[in-house]
Structure formats: structure tokens, C-alpha cells
Chain A
Amino acid sequence: MPLSTQLQGDDEQYVLVASLDNARNISNILKAIAFKDHAIFNATPNGLRVTVEDSKCLQANAFIQAEIFQEFTIREDLVGFQVNLTVLLDCLNIFGGTTVPGVSTALRMCYKGYGYPLTLFLEEGGVVTVCKINTEEPEEPIDFEFCSTNVINKVILQSESLKEPFSEMDMTSEVLQITMSPSPPYFRLSTFGMAGNAHYDYPKDSDVMELFRCTKTQTNRYKISLLKPSTKALALSCKVSVRTDSRGFLSLQYLVRNDDGQICFVEYYCCPDEEVE
């Protein structure tokens, strides 16, 4: 491959080198969390975690395991930096995002360490582009302290069934209310807009309900403006798990299959707007 032969000599300097034959395997998943300009990158030998946050109430994470990459070399236990996600996505799509089958953009992402830019080598059809994106001091991602032992209610749904309520959500409503209960309506999404209110009910024995584990009735409201961006992750995914803990914090986990059928995860955490019992 032209890229690796050209640049092997430089490898010694990089603390992180990650290569993909198809850049879409990373750009698609990053688009699902790109509701803000800045993203925090954290790489460990397990893979890459990209975090985007909004007003300290919402956090989205994309996880791309090391196995997804054709090459993933890391020289430290933890490599962290912050970049402008919009710029990064523009670079990843620099060849115009062609959807012609068989043609893809190859990516080699390299980072020398603190203070150095993130270097991207992109190649398509023999043409190579080099992008250097300035990095910033990485902020510490918020720890929402969401642990599975604290989970009160959990459901796993087929993403297809949730696409409609999320994409058609009444944006004149300030909140999205989620009710989860061992008794009817079991799982309900509600909005309270100018014209009236709307409810989407999913019975526990529905075909689309892959897992239903609700122990206690909980109704929580979340700012609709914070949750609306998760619609992108929903669109990419095939399954979604919805969990709430004792504080009413919401965890949405999306199972995404990339172009090559490999699995990646996207996760959203959201604080409740107010507690409604």
C-alpha cells in the first residue's frame, strides 16, 4: 500500500497510529455524535473513545475497538487530545464521500503526542492528501457515574421501531418524557407540544422489544434539545438499549454495524430535567 511504504520511517515518532482501509468505518460513527464542534479523543490499547458533551447535561461517546482498525499501534497506556470534530469530519470526507462500491478512502491517523497536530493521511485512487489538525488540551470527560448495579429499568428495542418517534418528535415540546414500568404502558415516550401531547407506547411483549427488564415505575423528563441529536445514532444502529438509574439518569446505547459488518458502540448519557414520580 502506498501510504505505509512511504511513511514507515516516521512511525517511531508517533505515539498513536491507526489505519483503516475504509475511512467511512470511522467517519460514519463520528457523525452520529457530531452535535458539537469539539471532541475529546482517548485512545488505549483497547481502541478509540471519542466524546462530545453538551452543557454538562449530555455526553455522547463513540467506541471503536482496536480490532476494527487494520493497524492500531499505541505506545502509551493512554493517549488523549481534543480536536475540532467538524474539521476532522471534513477531512475524512475530503474526497467527496463517494458511495461507488469498491472505491473507498483509506485513512492513516497519526499523532506524535502532546503539542503535536493530528495528522491524517488519506488516499483514494492513488491520490494522497495530508491533513494536519491542531490539537488542544484534552478536557476530562464528565463521569456520569452510571453503573449497571444502579440500573432500575432496562429495555432493548429494535432501532427501526424508535426511528419514527425520534425523527417526528414534536419539537415544540420542551421535554421528552420517558416512562418505564413493569405495568402498562410499559415503555412510553411522550411530548407536550403547543398543539397537544403525543404518546408512543411499546408493550413489553411486542416483537420489537428484545429485552424488557423493568422493576419499578419511573417517569423522567429530558430536555428535547439534548436528546434530538441522538436520532443520528439511532439511524445508524440496529439495536438500542434504554436504561435509567435511581437518579433518573438516562443511558442510551446503540449497536452500530459498519460497512464491513463489524460492531461499534455509541452511547448517550443524559441528566433528567426534573423528577416526576
Chain B
Amino acid sequence: MDCVVTGGNVKVLAKAIHSLSRIGDELYVEPQEDGLALRSVNSSRSAYACFLFAPLFFSRYTIPSGHTFRCKMLIKSVQAVFRSLASLEKTVEKCHIELDKHKDRLTFTLHCKHGLLKTHNLSFQDSESLQAVFDKDSCANVFRAQPRLLVDTVVHFPPSLEEVTLAVSDERMWVRNHVEEDSEQSKAMLTELCLASDEFDHYAVQAHNSITFCLKELRGLLVFAEATGLPISMYFDDPGRYAYPYTVVISDSVLEGDFVLATLSDDPNHRKHNTRRTQTPVPPPPDDFMNDDIDSYLIAMDTSIAQGPSTTCPPTPALAESTHSKEPAAANHRTRKHSEEEEEVAEGETADSGRPPNKKFCSLFFGSVLPSSSQMSTQPVTTQEVLASDSEDDT
């Protein structure tokens, strides 16, 4: 592998790496035919980012022939190469990235003014492919805006704020901080902003819904966007169908940055089930045999058997019940798949109990490099409720 980045692009590369460092501790490097992919994922696998630099971004781009090369390294080490962004612009003329396979080293050489040469030989580990499965093109809601709009919106929220909720209608987008259900309502400060559809370059809403995601992990992208001035595109879907990740994309002709964040469903009907205590839909108490939804009840019984580590849940009022028990109906053909994933996620959840709020975002699905069209969802547990919403039953 032998790539050369010159001039202002060195700073862009450095900024992309700094952005990725806001997601995870490791940088996954994969030189591909269509460009150099730099990826990162957070420890709970609920946030993923990928920067793809097209061959045209480089003044020279040669990838290893034969088998694909993939590696990962500590992102801190790579950041050390590009430490001072301000001086990068002033002093670095070009950056040469070279793979020295024999020595297990990836060499970053910065050619600077006055003939100075800075060489960093970084060790790496071979790694598996890191590729989150997401299909933004089929999303119901698509937006595009100048970075200024989003940066100015986000500035109103404290840097420590973890979760933010976006709610959209045909004309407006509301952005507010997400407050925990069980937190003291009187002590919480709520901040809400409203953006009109005409403030966006593109605003297409097919499903009026809201999503909650972790803002911290997105800030890296916003810093990158602000520096490069490239427009930002956002995609999310109707959580009624799949619990869809929130995808944010920044791109121009030679690069594309994708940030994929797992979301919490914010639909009020489902909110109860998003707490850790309640992980599975509750079969209605025997009295509901008299309920119209007896069929649904039977199906609900089915799904509860199929599930792995389900926790016992307090009985809920009949009305709410009926909504929930309807859900598995349309989805029971998926229960087996989801029970497997659920186990995975449930393990992850219990292991993560006691960690900060964003850990209740379930893992994104990481599949093979080729995305399978059928399996695109991310959070089996919380989607157990959202898989089949009322709207789906109506269709």
C-alpha cells in the first residue's frame, strides 16, 4: 500500500481521524479499490463511522495486490502523527502512507517545509472487516443541510449531554434533549429548538416520528463538517418498521463520511419497554382471554417462549397491552432470528448495566461486507415492540 496526500488534503485527512477518535479507540484501515476506508466503532457497537477517501483524493494511490489488507491500530497513535492541526496547514507539504508488510508497520511520513521529515512507523494488528449494515437509500426521512445549521443547533446543548431527540413533521424538525423517564422531572432542564423545513437544502419526510440518539458521538462529524464546509445529509426511518439507525453523511466528490448511530425509539407507546427492566412484551393476564385480541395473545405466548433471557415484567393495563400484543403478530416469523440477536444484545445489556445511558442503545448489526437486504435492523430487543406498529396492521 502506497498513498500520498498533498497540500490541504493532509489537514482534511487529519480532521477525519480526529473525528473518528470521538467514536472509538481503534482505527480500522482498509485500502479498497474504491478508496481508502478509515473506520471506527464504539465499545458498545452502537455508533459507527467510516470515512472513504476516493483515489482522486490522493496524488498517488496504490493498494496491495492480491488479498485484501485490513488492519487496526490505536487511534491515539495515528492522532500523534497529526497532532497540531494548525501547524499542519502551515508546514506540511505532503503525507506519505506506506505499508511495510515485513515489519508489520504502517509508515506515515510527513514532508514538511525546510526539508524536514517526520516519520512515524506505527505497529498494527490484522483485523476483521468492520462494516455496519445500513441502507440509507431506503429511508423514509431524508434531510440535507449546511453544517452551519446543525452546528448552531447543537451549540445550545451542553457538551456533556448524551442523548438528543429529533422529531419531524412535514414542516418542522424539533430538536430537544432527551430526559430519562425516571429522572426528577422538576430538576431536569429541557431545551427544545425548532427548525423549519426551508432552513434545509432538502427536507423529505414520509414518516412523522422521532428518534433519540447519542449526540456526543455525532459531534466529531460536526467538527469535521464545520471545518470543511461540506453539506450534511441525514437519514432515518420509521421506527415502526425497523428500529433504524440514524445515518449522517457528509460528502463531496472525493470523500464520504458516514456516521451511523443506533437509536432509541421515542414513540410514547413504546417508551415503557425501553427501560432495562422491561425487555420483552408482556403476555396479557388471564382476564384478557375475553379481549378481542385473543389471537394476538396466543401469538404473544409463542414469542415469549421463543425468546432467550426474557425478564419478568409487571403487568400493564389492558389497553396498552393490546397494542403491544399486536406487535409480535406481524413479526412472529422473525422471532427466531431475533431471539438469537436478542440473546446477544441482552448479554451486552446486562454486561453493560451500570454504564452511562448510551449503553442502552443496542448494538448495530455488523454483517458481512455485502449488506444483506433482508436483515437491516439493529435493536432486536427494543424492536420487539416496534416491529409491527398499528400502521403496519392497517396495510
Interface size class of B (residues with CB under 8 A): 20 to 34
The verdict on A170 contacting B80 (CB below 8 Å), with A195-B73, A195-B122, A196-B123 known, is yes
Shortest B116–chain A CB gap in Å is: 6
- A164 touches B (CB below 8 Å): yes
- B118 touches A (CB below 8 Å): yes
A207 and B122 CA atoms in complex are apart in Å by: 29
Assess whether A195 is in contact with B114, with CB atoms less than 8 Å apart.
no
Assess whether B118 is in contact with A208, with CB atoms less than 8 Å apart.
no
Question: Which residues of B (114-161) have their CB < 8 Å from a CB of A?
Answer: 114-123
Residues of A within 8 A of B73 (CB): 195
A165 and B117 CA atoms in complex are apart in Å by: 11
Assess whether A200 is in contact with B80, with CB atoms less than 8 Å apart.
no
Assess whether A168 is in contact with B83, with CB atoms less than 8 Å apart.
yes
- B74 touches A (CB below 8 Å): yes
- A201 touches B (CB below 8 Å): yes
The verdict on A205 contacting B120 (CB below 8 Å), with A164-B87, A195-B73 known, is no
- A262 touches B (CB below 8 Å): no
Assess whether A206 is in contact with B119, with CB atoms less than 8 Å apart.
no
Shortest B124–chain A CB gap in Å is: 9
Chain A 150-162 per-residue mask, 1 if CB under 8 angstroms from chain B, else 0: 0000000000010
Assess whether B116 is in contact with A195, with CB atoms less than 8 Å apart.
no
A112 and B116 CA atoms in complex are apart in Å by: 52
Contact of A161 among B80, B114, B120, B122 (CB under 8 A): B114
Shortest A242–chain B CB gap in Å is: 15
Residues of B within 8 A of A161 (CB): 114, 116
Assess whether B119 is in contact with A196, with CB atoms less than 8 Å apart.
no
Shortest A235–chain B CB gap in Å is: 14
Shortest A157–chain B CB gap in Å is: 10
Assess whether B87 is in contact with A206, with CB atoms less than 8 Å apart.
no
Assess whether A207 is in contact with B117, with CB atoms less than 8 Å apart.
no
Assess whether A198 is in contact with B119, with CB atoms less than 8 Å apart.
yes
Assess whether A200 is in contact with B117, with CB atoms less than 8 Å apart.
yes
Closest to A163 in B: B87
The verdict on A201 contacting B74 (CB below 8 Å), with A164-B87, A168-B80, A168-B84 known, is no
Q: Which of B74, B76, B115, B122 is the most central at the interface, judged by chain A CB atoms within 10 Å of its CB?
A: B115
Question: Which residues of B (51-96) have their CB < 8 Å from a CB of A?
Answer: 73-74, 76-77, 80, 83-84, 87
- B105 touches A (CB below 8 Å): yes
Shortest A230–chain B CB gap in Å is: 19
A201 and B117 CA atoms in complex are apart in Å by: 5
A194 and B122 CA atoms in complex are apart in Å by: 9
A-B contact count (CB 8 A): 58
- A202 touches B (CB below 8 Å): yes
- A75 touches B (CB below 8 Å): no
The verdict on A206 contacting B76 (CB below 8 Å), with A196-B105, A201-B119 known, is no
Residues of B within 8 A of A208 (CB): 114, 116
A153 and B83 CA atoms in complex are apart in Å by: 31
Shortest B84–chain A CB gap in Å is: 7
The verdict on A198 contacting B120 (CB below 8 Å), with A164-B87, A168-B84 known, is yes
Residues of A within 8 A of B114 (CB): 161, 206-208
Assess whether B116 is in contact with A196, with CB atoms less than 8 Å apart.
no
Assess whether B116 is in contact with A199, with CB atoms less than 8 Å apart.
no
Contact of A201 among B83, B87, B116, B122 (CB under 8 A): B116
A194 and B123 CA atoms in complex are apart in Å by: 9
The verdict on A198 contacting B116 (CB below 8 Å), with A164-B84, A168-B84, A170-B80 known, is no
- A197 touches B (CB below 8 Å): yes
Assess whether A195 is in contact with B74, with CB atoms less than 8 Å apart.
yes
Residues of B within 8 A of A207 (CB): 113-115
Closest to B120 in A: A198
Question: Which residues of A (198-227) have their CB < 8 Å from a CB of B?
Answer: 198-203, 205-208
A197 and B76 CA atoms in complex are apart in Å by: 14
Shortest A5–chain B CB gap in Å is: 50
Residues of B within 8 A of A196 (CB): 77, 105, 120-123
Residues of B within 8 A of A201 (CB): 116-119
Shortest A210–chain B CB gap in Å is: 12
Assess whether A199 is in contact with B76, with CB atoms less than 8 Å apart.
no
Shortest B136–chain A CB gap in Å is: 34
Residues of A within 8 A of B74 (CB): 195
Residues of A within 8 A of B122 (CB): 195-196
Assess whether B116 is in contact with A206, with CB atoms less than 8 Å apart.
yes
Shortest A28–chain B CB gap in Å is: 24
Residues of B within 8 A of A199 (CB): 117-121
Closest to B116 in A: A202
A237 and B105 CA atoms in complex are apart in Å by: 36
Shortest A215–chain B CB gap in Å is: 21
Closest to A195 in B: B77
Shortest A63–chain B CB gap in Å is: 29
Residues of B within 8 A of A200 (CB): 116-119
Shortest B291–chain A CB gap in Å is: 62
A206 and B113 CA atoms in complex are apart in Å by: 9
Shortest B358–chain A CB gap in Å is: 27
A203 and B116 CA atoms in complex are apart in Å by: 7
Assess whether A195 is in contact with B123, with CB atoms less than 8 Å apart.
yes
Q: Which of A161, A164, A195, A199 is the most central at the interface, judged by chain B CB atoms within 10 Å of its CB?
A: A195
Shortest A272–chain B CB gap in Å is: 23
A201 and B118 CA atoms in complex are apart in Å by: 6
| CB<8 Å pairs between A and B, sample of 10 | A164-B87, A165-B118, A168-B80, A168-B83, A196-B77, A199-B120, A200-B118, A201-B118, A202-B116, A207-B115
Instruction: Known pairs A161-B114, A196-B120, A207-B115; list 16 more (Cβ under 8 Å).
Output: A161-B116, A168-B84, A195-B73, A195-B74, A195-B76, A197-B121, A198-B118, A198-B121, A199-B117, A199-B121, A200-B117, A201-B116, A201-B119, A205-B115, A206-B114, A207-B114
Interface residues of A (CB under 8 A from B): 161, 164-165, 168, 170, 185, 194-203, 205-208
Lowest 6 CB-CB distances: which A-B pairs, in order?
Answer: A195-B77, A201-B117, A196-B122, A206-B115, A203-B115, A199-B119
